[in-house]
Amino acid sequence: MAKESNMERDKVRAEFVAMIQPFVRNLNPDQIQDDTLLVDDLNVNSARLVDIMLEMEDRFAIRIDDEEAGALTTVGGAVDLIVAKKRRAA
């Protein structure tokens, strides 16, 4: 069960990292870790976090409320939010 869960998270993570590439300005995708900061480390324009959120909604068929958008600080936070939302919807 835990192994399946990890595999699902890894898949979401890979998809998320690929999805944010157009917004990333200064880091090789291979160097992205869970604690990598979207704005400070990846130099994503903070205004574009809204667009990342909308793309997450479309790609993963979830809805992210404004109060949940705070999770969009680190790569890991965003991935965990997606995984949690998908599980709740399943």
Partner 1 sequence: MRRVVITGLGVVAPNGTGVPAFRRALREGRSGIRFHQKLQDLKLTCQVAGFPSVDEALLQSRFNEEQRRNINGVMTYGGLAAIECWLDAGLSLHDDQPDWNAGAVFGTGIGAADTIGDKLAPMTRDGQSRRMGSAVPEQAMCSNVSALLGGIFGLGNRVSTNSSACATGTEAIVESCRHIRAGMADRMIAGSSECDSPYVGAGFDAMRVTARKGNECPERASRPMSASASGFVPGAGAGALLLESLDSALARHARIYAEISGAAVNCGGQRGGGTITASNPEGVRRCIRAAVAESGLAADPVGELGYINGHLTATGGDPKEVENLLAALRLPPEKLPWINSTKSMIGHTLGAAGAIECVATVLQLHEGFIHPSLNCEDTHPQIQRIARSIPHELVEAPHLRAALKTSFGFGDVNACIVFSKWTEA
Secondary structure letter of residue 74 according to DSSP: B
CB of residue 49 to partner 1, shortest distance in Å: 8
Q: Which helix (H) or strand (E) holds 82?
A: helix 75-89
CB of residue 7 to partner 1, shortest distance in Å: 30
CB of residue 48 to partner 1, shortest distance in Å: 6
Q: Select from 9, 15, 19, 23 the one that contacts partner 1 (CB under 8 A).
A: 23
Site string for partner 1, 56-85 (x = CB under 8 A): ------------------------------
Q: Give the CB-side neighbour count of residue 71, counting CA atoms within 13 A.
A: 17
Residue with token string 């793309």: 55
* 48 is a contact residue toward partner 1 (CB under 8 A): yes
Q: Which of 45, 90, 88 is nearest to 68 (CA)?
A: 88
